[in-house]
């Protein structure tokens, strides 16, 4: 009798729920691939759709790069999954990525996850299409013209110099934390035109809100109190309130004396909006400004931190950069774009950093129609993620790809067949509009730091994580000391 009761208890408490879970998972697998096009003879990509409703989103958010690595090893360069509420195909490899990036408006269209669209907004450059995208892109590109980039160099030098001076006074610095603050100040001044006194007053609150927004940018699309999306939207609203204050000040200043205005990216967006003859779309400009802040701060902070890390692990590269600065006669006191362009090896150091640690791991699209990708069908309406980091990992043009070897870019020829094997800024019509700004910012940062400092990584090589950009989990604790140039 006791045995029978035990068996009934075991069946009700363990076996039956387990069986129901297996059945639910199987039904979910069948349900979630319902979008398969019966008119297409090609099979769906291999893969799994994860748990009911949430798919494999939690696994991705918790494991990040490990999740992606295991998936690629198990299923190859094209596989299916279910992320952020949608059936998704993840794509790796130059030829596969080429088809996605060049298929804009024909095969695919940009569509970020619902949480990203909700937080950043529908009127951002990364979310708009057609003529609206072209108009907004033209306005922003004016802020990254050669003349504009030249004018930004003294501001970047001023901010980097002030930061480095503080680092030298301390026993240890959490590089990622400090570089985020640095790049935030640079972006606020250069891209959004905030005055120095405004930044001093609002920086702490703004940066905390911005980091809260970024932490929850990729989250389940559930807007309930204490959910990730709820926290992200609350932080976004605070950022918008501060940006709106600055927009109203700019509009007031432009009404009184338009000739004296510095045309930062935010000012150009305001000008573009007013030139349409329509009432000023405050919400659209706030959304675009927030997107600029993300692109101009979060991604460059990731890359600058990776630069410090890789050079801290490779002192011979630091010596070679210093030698190039000396040999080319670059003067810090009169740094120009022309002088920066002479630093060929230094450019290679940045390229190699972006190869190994691209700050943004990939991009999101949605299939406009069912199409064939390397023997698999990509059903209409499914999300498509092209992977930047994985594509770099499998690129055939980079021998010994696990090694940090900047010189590979001195001799590696650029050709049409190889251009999609290296895509740190994406590609096609959606290529990052701020890539030239990022290159100048990173090069000025690198030249300033190597000219002023030696440094030692206190924890050695860190573990890297993605969330949503690449960063060291220990924030890269580092000791900086003054660099004393020795007589030849």
Give the C-alpha separation, 273 to 284, whole Å: 9
Residue 365, SS3 per DSSP: strand
Classify residue 436 by burial, with Cβ atoms within 10 Å: 0-12, 13-18, 19+. Answer: middle
Give the C-alpha separation, 61 to 39, whole Å: 35
Looking only at the bridges linking them, the beta strands covering 453-457 and 464-466 are unpaired
Q: Are 198 and 184 in contact (CB under 8 A)?
A: no
Give the C-alpha separation, 361 to 393, whole Å: 12
Give the C-alpha separation, 45 to 378, whole Å: 8
- What residue numbers bound the domain in which 236 lies? 127-358+398-482
Q: Which of 477, 487, 480, 479 is nearest to 453 (CA)?
A: 480
Give the C-alpha separation, 189 to 186, whole Å: 5
Is residue 23 scored above 50 in pLDDT? no
Determine the pLDDT at residue 6: 57
Three-class SS string for 460-486?
A: CCCCEEECCCEEECCCCEEEEEECCCC
Mean pLDDT of 145-158: 92
Is residue 260 scored above 80 in pLDDT? no
Q: Are 29 and 49 in contact (CB under 8 A)?
A: yes
Q: Is residue 56 part of a domain?
A: no
Q: Is residue 96 part of a domain?
A: no
Q: Is residue 2 part of a domain?
A: no
- 18 confidence band (pLDDT: 50, 70, 90): low
- 180 confidence band (pLDDT: 50, 70, 90): very high
Q: Are 442 and 307 in contact (CB under 8 A)?
A: yes
In Å, how far from its chain's centre is CA 291?
11
| Paired residues of 81 in beta bridges | 88
Alpha helices in 216-281 (DSSP H): 228-256, 265-275
Q: Are 187 and 293 in contact (CB under 8 A)?
A: yes
- 255 confidence band (pLDDT: 50, 70, 90): low
Is residue 482 scored above 70 in pLDDT? yes
**Residue 248's domain is classified under what CATH number?**
1.10.630.10
- Tell me: the pLDDT tens digits for 303-333? 999 999 999 999 999 999 999 999 999 888 8
Residue 340 or residue 126, greater confidence:
340
Mean pLDDT of 284-298: 85
Whether the bond into 468 is cis, omega within 30 of 0: yes
Residue 155 or residue 51, greater confidence:
155
Mean pLDDT of 208-231: 88
Tell me the percentage of the chain whose pLDDT exceeds 70: 88
Mean pLDDT of 185-191: 90
- 209 confidence band (pLDDT: 50, 70, 90): very high
Give the C-alpha separation, 72 to 70, whole Å: 6
The count of structural domains within the chain is 1
Q: Please state, rounded to an integer, the average pLDDT across all residues of the chain.
A: 86
Is residue 160 scored above 90 in pLDDT? yes
Mean pLDDT of 268-290: 79
Q: Can you say whether the dihedral through the CA atoms of 385, 291, 207, 217 is positive or negative?
A: negative
Is residue 75 scored above 60 in pLDDT? yes
Q: Are 331 and 143 in contact (CB under 8 A)?
A: no
Q: Is residue 79 part of a domain?
A: no
- Tell me: the pLDDT tens digits for 372-419? 999 999 999 999 999 999 999 999 899 999 999 999 999 865 555 578
Residue 71 or residue 14, greater confidence:
71
Is residue 257 scored above 70 in pLDDT? no
Q: Is residue 70 part of a domain?
A: no
Those residues whose C-beta lies under 8 Å from the C-beta of residue 14, and which sit 6 or more positions away, are none
Q: Is residue 169 part of a domain?
A: yes
Distances (CA, A) of 140 to 192, 243, 253, 283: 11, 17, 20, 17
Q: Are 74 and 59 in contact (CB under 8 A)?
A: no
CA angle 70, 73, 75 (to 5 degrees): 100
Give the C-alpha separation, 65 to 188, whole Å: 30
Instruction: Give, to the nearest 10 degrees, the angle between helix 282-293 and helix 265-275.
Output: 150
Give the C-alpha separation, 171 to 487, whole Å: 27
| Paired residues of 89 in beta bridges | 80, 384
Mean pLDDT of 128-155: 86
Mean pLDDT of 170-177: 95
Determine the pLDDT at residue 58: 84
Outline where DSSP puts E strands in 111-170.
none
- 301 confidence band (pLDDT: 50, 70, 90): very high
Matching residue, tokens 């349409």: 276
Least confident segment among 191-200, 241-250, 292-301, 425-434: 191-200
Give the C-alpha separation, 467 to 447, whole Å: 28
Give the C-alpha separation, 242 to 239, whole Å: 5
| Paired residues of 477 in beta bridges | 174
Determine the pLDDT at residue 442: 97
Determine the pLDDT at residue 284: 84
Is residue 16 scored above 80 in pLDDT? no
- Tell me: the pLDDT tens digits for 220-240? 888 888 889 999 999 999 999
Is residue 28 scored above 60 in pLDDT? no
Q: Is residue 250 part of a domain?
A: yes
- Tell me: the pLDDT tens digits for 85-110? 889 999 999 999 999 999 988 999 98
Q: Is residue 111 part of a domain?
A: no
């Amino acid at each position: 009798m006791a045995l029978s009761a035990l068996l009934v208890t075991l069946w009700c408490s363990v076996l039956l729920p387990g069986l129901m879970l297996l059945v639910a998972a199987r039904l979910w697998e069948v349900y979630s691939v319902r979008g398969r096009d019966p008119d297409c003879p090609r099979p769906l990509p291999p893969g799994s759709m994860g748990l009911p409703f949430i798919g494999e989103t939690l696994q991705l958010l918790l494991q990040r790069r490990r999740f992606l690595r295991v998936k690629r090893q198990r299923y190859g360069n094209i596989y299916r999954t279910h992320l952020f509420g949608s059936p998704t195909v993840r794509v790796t490899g130059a030829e596969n990525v080429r088809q996605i990036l060049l298929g804009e408006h024909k095969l695919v269209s940009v569509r970020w996850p619902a949480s990203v669209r909700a937080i950043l907004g529908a009127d951002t450059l990364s979310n708009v299409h057609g003529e609206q995208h072209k108009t907004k892109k033209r306005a922003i590109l004016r802020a990254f013209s050669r003349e504009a980039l030249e004018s930004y160099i003294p501001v970047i030098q001023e901010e980097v110099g002030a930061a480095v001076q503080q680092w030298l006074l301390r026993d240890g610095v959490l590089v990622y934390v400090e570089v985020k603050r640095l790049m935030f100040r640079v972006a606020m001044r250069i891209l959004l035109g905030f005055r120095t006194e405004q930044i001093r007053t609002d920086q702490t609150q703004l940066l905390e809100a911005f980091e809260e927004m970024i932490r929850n940018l990729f989250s389940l699309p559930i807007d309930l109190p204490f959910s990730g999306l709820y926290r992200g939207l609350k932080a976004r609203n605070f950022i918008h309130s501060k940006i709106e204050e600055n927009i109203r000040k700019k509009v007031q200043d432009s009404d009184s004396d338009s000739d004296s205005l510095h045309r930062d990216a935010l000012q150009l967006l305001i000008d573009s909006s007013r030139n349409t003859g329509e009432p000023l779309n405050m919400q659209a400009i706030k959304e675009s400004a927030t997107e600029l802040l993300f692109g101009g701060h979060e991604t460059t902070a990731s890359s600058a931190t990776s630069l410090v890390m890789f050079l801290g692990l490779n002192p011979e590269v630091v010596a070679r950069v210093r030698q190039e600065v000396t040999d080319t006669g670059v003067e810090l006191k009169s740094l120009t774009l022309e002088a920066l362009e002479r630093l060929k090896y230094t450019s290679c150091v940045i390229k190699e950093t972006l190869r190994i640690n691209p700050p943004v791991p990939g991009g999101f699209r949605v299939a406009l129609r069912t199409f064939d990708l390397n023997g698999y069908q990509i059903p209409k309406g499914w999300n498509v993620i092209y992977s930047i980091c994985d594509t770099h990992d499998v690129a055939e043009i980079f021998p010994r790809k696990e090694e940090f070897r900047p010189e590979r870019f001195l001799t590696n020829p650029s050709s049409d067949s190889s251009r999609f094997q290296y895509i740190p800024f994406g590609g096609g019509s959606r290529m990052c509009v701020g890539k030239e700004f990022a290159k100048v910012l990173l090069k000025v940062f690198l030249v300033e730091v190597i000219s002023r400092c030696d440094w030692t990584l206190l924890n050695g090589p860190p573990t890297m994580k993605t969330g949503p950009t690449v960063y060291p989990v220990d924030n890269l604790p580092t000791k900086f000391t003054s660099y004393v140039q020795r007589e030849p």
